Structure 1
Amino acid sequence: MARLYESRKRILVTGGAGFLGSHLIDKLMGQGHEVICADNLFTGSKRNIEHLHGNPRFEFLRHDVCNPLKVEVDEIYNLACPASPVHYQYNPVLTTKTSVMGALNMLGLAKRLRCRIFQASTSEVYGDPEVHPQREDYWGHVNPIGTRACYDEGKRCAETLFFDYHRQHGVDIKVARIFNTYGPRMHPRDGRVVSNFITQALAGEDLTIYGDGSQTRSFCYCDDLVDGFLKLMDSPPELTGPVNLGNPGEFTMIELAGEVLRLTGSRSKVKHLPLPADDPKQRQPDITLARKALGWEPKVPLADGLARTIDHFRSFDD
């Protein structure tokens, strides 16, 4: 049910044509808000938002957050940044600039407008963790000069900027640390394990597992994650975050591969390749804070979410 007109907000979503950004915009539009989607389409796709064109409450701006943006809005969700290793390592300098300059530009806008701003941070700030599961008070174990550092350290610096703007200028901030998320609208060649496995299984190719497959990840379905975004954004000002948002269910890569093969009915085999540099051996969120402060936890089981994602990939016409 849409909100009443009196509670309608004008909301900016950077990276809104991306996988998560487009799902967030769908939710916001469903609540009756006006949404400005800003995206340079480096990894985002017009396909993800084409169903919204023609809606008088939706506006698309082709814009790079490395440059200032002058708009009048009530809230900002800053999601702009390549999020998969294939994409963020393609141009690592640009990745760091997007995280850092993007944060500076959006925080400057929020300061001028005196509006609340949300930062999509990442579990990658924990690096290859020495603490398991990861809590928000863990400072991480990150290689600052590795091939993943453009993303890991870029996001860590963005968090620093958000909290300094909050302390120095009183900007109303919300910071979420996103753990592995999957669902429809993932790009089939983004290099993430879920999209890799599904694409390979549907094509009858070997499923590539890096290392021995014992490394673990936790997988959160996109709808659950976006619900966490909205709950955090609507929480009291004193809850700035960071707040872990992810599914605490932990699966090895071998287990994930088996589930994808079962759901697709594929006869593909599993092929092992060397483990990439600085690849985390385990990743699992402690979501105690999200449960207590937001009343949030994921609801979609992995098998159900994978089935929906596989259906999307089957219909994907590249």
Structure 2
Amino acid sequence: MNGGVNGGDDPIRLAAVDGEAVPRRGLKAVLESNVINHERLPMLEVVCERMVRLFATSMRNLTSDAIEVNLEAITSVRFGDYMDRLPLPAMFGVFQVKPWESYGIVIVDAGLIYGIVDALLGGRGGMRSLPPEGRTFTTIESSLVSRVVQMALDDFARAFEEIAPVAMGLERMEMSPRFAAIAEPSNAAAVASYSVSMDGRGGTFSVLLPYATLEPVREKLLQRFMGEKAGRDRIWAEHMASELYNTQVTLDVVLGEKIMPLREVRGLEVGQTIALTIGPDDALQVHCGGVPLGRAHIGQRSSNIAIRMATDIAKGYPK
């Protein structure tokens, strides 16, 4: 047994004993844990479900085949572990979410790659054996698949419209996961996996988004799904707006201001006159709750003191 002492009486086991693995402890256990604890994002699930309908329609229009798209799972993974477990050959489409200046990956497996190529080049469909392992993808295959990947990204961006307006642009297609490293291996990421069936041919593709990429809209993704408005209750919002417009407020018209020593203020008597610098034709400040709203002229109407606004009402009008 190899061991060491960290300043205490208990040794820290660093190697296996009699062929049995020693449990990992402390920070090492946290960093190397396969369990990803991350808060659930309900609206991300809604976005991924909408992607199914949009992408199926786009694929039908592109291939004129009977297309079936299904959302298999939405999981949280460590970026490095997930990329290491992916079966090869595959294509990795690295894309940028332009408003957020962040990146994601679309992973397309070999079955779907050859299914897309067969469909776009006029194949008759049906199950066919895959090319031998180790064969690289041609330029034509990469070009056709990149076209479909960009179409999928456009549909994914449309599915995101209720959350935030985004634009997803494909930057490059890679054949090796080593060249598609957009995050640190220990970073957490959300992966939505889809299966695509095209008249007996097809495969799977996945959309990987690091949680760092989703951070700008994290608060919106945490909302509960309520109808097609992404958790926003339109009726309640309209009711609140109408009640606010009917709220009565008290306005104060400032006739003038003068700075006086406390000694003079304490010496004021009934009937004493305070001279102000404001003229009868000058515009006066209008306040609401101490907040200046604008300026108005004072006058008389129907035996009542009245004011007429001389400027538009603006919150935070300078004093």
Same fold (TM over 0.5): no
Which structure features the higher share of helix residues?
A: 1
Output the TM-score relative to the length of structure 1. Answer: 0.22
Please say which structure displays the higher CA radius of gyration: 2
